[in-house]
Chains A and B, each alone.
Chain A
Amino acid sequence: MELHVAAEELNPLVPHLSEIIVGTIAFVLLLWLLSRSVFPQFERVYAERTDRIEGGLKRAEEAQEQAIALKRQYEEQLAGLRAEAARIRDDARAEGNRIRAELREQAEQEAGRIRQRGEEQLAAQREQTVRSLRSEIGGLSVQLAERIVGTSLADDARRRETVDRFLADLDGIADERDDGHVAARGTSATGAPSGGAS
């Protein structure tokens, strides 16, 4: 089954037909069998392995991303809380300051009011005292005058007139002491008709 011509000269380049046929069939059959049953298995294992590895890597990456996100979230929360705390502290301080200022103002107002009331009371008491003193002095003066003069004043009208005049004189003296040197002296009876007759 050899193509080359007999044996006289062997040409190594001349193929053997049987080898061509058997070799081609063997190779094609081999290729068919391997493609059918072997190589797909390899490819499947490769794909599965790649998938497994890449999947694992991806999962790890995702977990890491999650962890980072969580950490950032915590940090943000923490920063927010710190800011919140600082704000609350500042607020409390401001509030304290405000309350203190308010209290001081209130106290000052209260003190002012108390002082004013005291002054008013004082003035009222003084007036009362002056008034009672005035009537008492009037009585005393009349008694004194009766006792000194020795005579009872006859009628009521004359007595009242006397007392009034006297009191007017007293008022004049008192006014003079109150006003200082503003009021002119010498207007004994008619000037400054202050104080009603009692």
Chain B
Amino acid sequence: MTTLATAPAPGFDAPGVDAFDLPPIFGPVTKPVVLLVLSAVIIYVLFRLAVRRPQLVPSKGQFMGEAFHGMVRNTIARDMIGPEFLRFVPFLTALFAFVLVNNLFGIIPLIQFPTFAHPGVPYALAVIVWLVYNTVGIRHHGFFGYLRVSTWPPDVPWWVRIILTPIEFLSNILLRPVTLSLRLFGNMFAGHLLLVLFVLGGDYMLFVADSITLKLLSPFAFGMAIVFTFFEAFVQVVQAYIFVMLTASYIGSAIADDH
């Protein structure tokens, strides 16, 4: 789209990394910081409302809270972790809600910034997840037992082990938090960049560019922005789901008795 900008008006400066460099609101507080606090407050308030008067036949709010909690509990935690899943359900549910709401900030009008397009919190969450699954693994198997479970798959010839064990160690112990956080961050970053590109591009075509053709074509840019907003909504939900799903899977494999 920048190549179309041939008018004497200033060329279109495509948004890049600097679009994520948000100015502080006051002191060290930036928009993502506010959003993080806001997300925690929203989640807590909604859940409190859901359990205000718990009943066997749930009210609408209680039903939605139960549906959310029950989905993490029954389709993620129970399937991925197994018989001991119940004690990880609070962690996984809070994690899912936290990631989901912060992701959805990316398409909520006036907010429109997915918090995790900045990598800090994904790193922090990945470290928490790493600590959790390694801790429960070591508690369950003992330190060397956990190392054996994580890096010593049974029924493998010794010459395969020479390669396999370092790879397993690398992928199971070292790289999991990296991929976990970068996957989330990358998706949010790219999605936000895409939306910003279409919106700013359309804005440029309509208001800045001299060419009448570009002005007429600008609705397509805005239309694409809307289309990608829907797409982003999907990606944001899926990424939150994947994040929690993988967390549950790591916990499950850490406390599994066979490899």
Q: A11 vs B95: C-alpha distance in the bound complex, in angstroms?
A: 27
Q: A184 vs B17: C-alpha distance in the bound complex, in angstroms?
A: 171
Binding site for A on B (CB under 8 A): 17-18, 20-21, 24, 28-30, 32-33, 36-37, 39-40, 43-44, 47-48, 50-51, 54-56, 58, 62, 65-66, 69-70, 86, 89-91, 93-95, 97-98, 115, 118-121, 123-125, 128, 185, 189
One of A10, A24, A44 near B21 (C-beta < 8 A): A10
Known: A20-B121, A37-B48, A38-B50. A26 touches B37 (CB 8 A): yes
Interface segment out of the listed A45-53, A58-66, A72-80? A45-53
* Cβ contacts under 8 Å, B36 to chain A: 19, 22-23, 26
| CB proximity of B203 to chain A, nearest CB, Å | 22
* Cβ contacts under 8 Å, B69 to chain A: 39, 42
One of A15, A18, A27 near B40 (C-beta < 8 A): A27
Q: A193 vs B100: C-alpha distance in the bound complex, in angstroms?
A: 151
Q: A11 vs B17: C-alpha distance in the bound complex, in angstroms?
A: 8
* Cβ contacts under 8 Å, B55 to chain A: 45
A19 and B40 contacting across the interface, CB-CB below 8 Å: no
A33 at the interface (CB under 8 A from B): yes
A16 at the interface (CB under 8 A from B): yes
Q: A151 vs B115: C-alpha distance in the bound complex, in angstroms?
A: 183
Q: Which applies to chain A's interface (DSSP): helix, strand, loop or mixed? A: helix
Contact-residue size bin, chain A (C-beta under 8 Å from the other chain):
35 or more
One of B54, B95, B128, B189 near A24 (C-beta < 8 A): B128
Known: A26-B40, A34-B47. A18 touches B33 (CB 8 A): yes
A10 and B47 contacting across the interface, CB-CB below 8 Å: no
Known: A10-B18, A12-B17. A17 touches B120 (CB 8 A): yes
Known: A16-B120, A22-B36, A39-B69. A27 touches B94 (CB 8 A): yes
* Cβ contacts under 8 Å, B89 to chain A: 39, 43
B91 and A31 contacting across the interface, CB-CB below 8 Å: yes
One of B28, B30, B44, B118 near A34 (C-beta < 8 A): B44
B33 and A31 contacting across the interface, CB-CB below 8 Å: no
| CB proximity of B99 to chain A, nearest CB, Å | 9
Known: A12-B17, A19-B32. A38 touches B119 (CB 8 A): no
Q: A22 vs B93: C-alpha distance in the bound complex, in angstroms?
A: 20
Q: A86 vs B91: C-alpha distance in the bound complex, in angstroms?
A: 75
6 contacts between A and B (CB under 8 A): A10-B21, A19-B32, A30-B40, A31-B91, A42-B65, A44-B54
A29 at the interface (CB under 8 A from B): yes
